[in-house]
């Protein structure tokens, strides 16, 4: 029979392990919003809460080509991203309130290198690495959709 203190510790360890496993799941059920970039349509999951933004695209084994994740912050600030626990190479578009891409950053999987916006932004759109380049979209290009309507 386990001592009560050891039993409590074992239960806490089991719960912590369960919480870690639950956390190690990709977010697949976030709300979605359509975004356009010229003639291209993006189906973007929206990460709007601190927990959703923290998890982001972690633990995904793939990302369909026309899908991405839009990170929405309460107010514009210099935003920095890294790729810990992210398995897919991504490009981050740091986006101003009016939908203008401020800068782009290619990010390698499972790294803690910091990639930051060149100016304060409220939005960051992550897509498969190279998606923006293949579409000819670069700094200064405009994205359109409901999130950017208020900034115009």
- Predicted confidence (pLDDT) per residue in 59-94, tens digit: 999 999 999 999 999 999 999 999 999 999 999 999
Q: Are 60 and 88 in contact (CB under 8 A)?
A: yes
Question: Residue 119: inside a domain, yes or no?
Answer: yes
Instruction: Please give the average per-residue pLDDT across 3-11, as a whole number.
Output: 35
Could you give the residue ranges of the DSSP H alpha helices within 56-110? none
| pLDDT value of residue 151 | 63
Closest CA to 88 of 49, 61, 69: 61
Question: Residue 71: inside a domain, yes or no?
Answer: yes
Tokens 């990460």 belong to: 47
Measure the CA–CA gap between 95 and 45, rounded to whole angstroms: 15
Question: Residue 64: inside a domain, yes or no?
Answer: yes
Question: Residue 127: inside a domain, yes or no?
Answer: yes
Question: Residue 2: inside a domain, yes or no?
Answer: no
Question: Residue 21: inside a domain, yes or no?
Answer: no
Calculate what percentage of the chain has a pLDDT beyond 70.
83
Please give the residue range of the domain that contains residue 35: 28-149
Q: Range with the lowest mean pLDDT among 18-32, 37-51, 53-67, 86-100?
A: 18-32
Give residues with Cβ within 8 angstroms of 88, minimum separation 6.
57, 60, 61, 62, 63, 109, 128, 129
Tokens 């810990």 belong to: 84
21 forms bridges with which residues in the sheet? none
pTM over the 0.85 mark: no
Domain count of the fold of the chain:
1
Question: Residue 122: inside a domain, yes or no?
Answer: yes
Question: Residue 7: inside a domain, yes or no?
Answer: no
Tokens describing residue 96: 């101003």
What CATH number does the domain containing 111 carry? Answer: 2.60.120.1140
107 forms bridges with which residues in the sheet? 90
């Amino acid at each position: 029979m386990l001592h009560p203190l050891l039993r409590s510790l074992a239960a806490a360890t089991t719960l912590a392990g369960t919480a870690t496993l639950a956390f190690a799941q990709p977010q697949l059920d976030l709300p979605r919003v359509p975004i356009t970039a010229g003639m291209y349509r993006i189906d973007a999951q929206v990460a709007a809460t601190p927990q959703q933004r923290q998890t982001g695209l972690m633990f995904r084994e793939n990302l369909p080509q026309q899908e991405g994740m839009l990170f929405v912050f309460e107010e514009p600030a210099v935003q920095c991203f890294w790729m810990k626990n992210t398995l897919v190479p991504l490009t981050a578009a740091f986006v101003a309130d009016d939908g203008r891409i401020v800068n782009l950053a290619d990010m390698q999987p499972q790294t803690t290198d910091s990639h930051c916006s060149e100016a304060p932004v409220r939005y960051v759109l992550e897509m498969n690495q190279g998606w923006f380049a293949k579409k000819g979209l670069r700094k200064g290009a405009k994205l359109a959709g409901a999130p950017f309507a208020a900034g115009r």
